[in-house]
Amino acid sequence: MSYLQLAYLHLATVLPAFILGTYLMLRRKGTATHKLLGKFYLLLMFTTATVTLFMKAQIGPKFLGHFGLIHLLSLNVMYGIPVAYFAAKNGNVKVHKANMMGMYIFGLLLAGSLALMPGRLLHKWLFG
């Protein structure tokens, strides 16, 4: 798969994840709807994090000629997903909330902000 195809796939999963994550944070917690949409959100986040691991870093230092510092955010999301899921299953709301907030802040807001920096593909698409 080309870098451009990966970028489109990443956008196709990260944009709905952002919308769904925002919705879930603003709505009542613990309902059947929250639980169902939360599982879909975790699937979107896992998919988008996995896709990014196949995307070669475009700026900054590279590890193994492929990975950049931004890939650490993807690994953080992949770690946080099962932790948050099993915390919720076991009734540990504090751990669940902390991991979900971390995933949203670092995996969506911070990574999204970094994607808008000069030299990144999304910056080129949006600002020329």
CA 101/CA 25 separation, integer angstroms: 9
Structure tokens at 88: 């919720």
Whether residue 71 has pLDDT greater than 90: yes
Q: Does position 114 have pLDDT exceeding 90, yes or no?
A: no
How many other β-carbons are positioned within 10 Å of the β-carbon of residue 5?
11
**Mean pLDDT across the chain, nearest whole number?**
94
Q: Which of the two residues, 58 and 116, has the higher pLDDT score?
A: 116
Q: Which of 53, 49, 58 is nearest to 80 (CA)?
A: 49
Can you give the pLDDT at residue 57? 87
Answer yes or no: is pLDDT of 97 > 90. Answer: yes
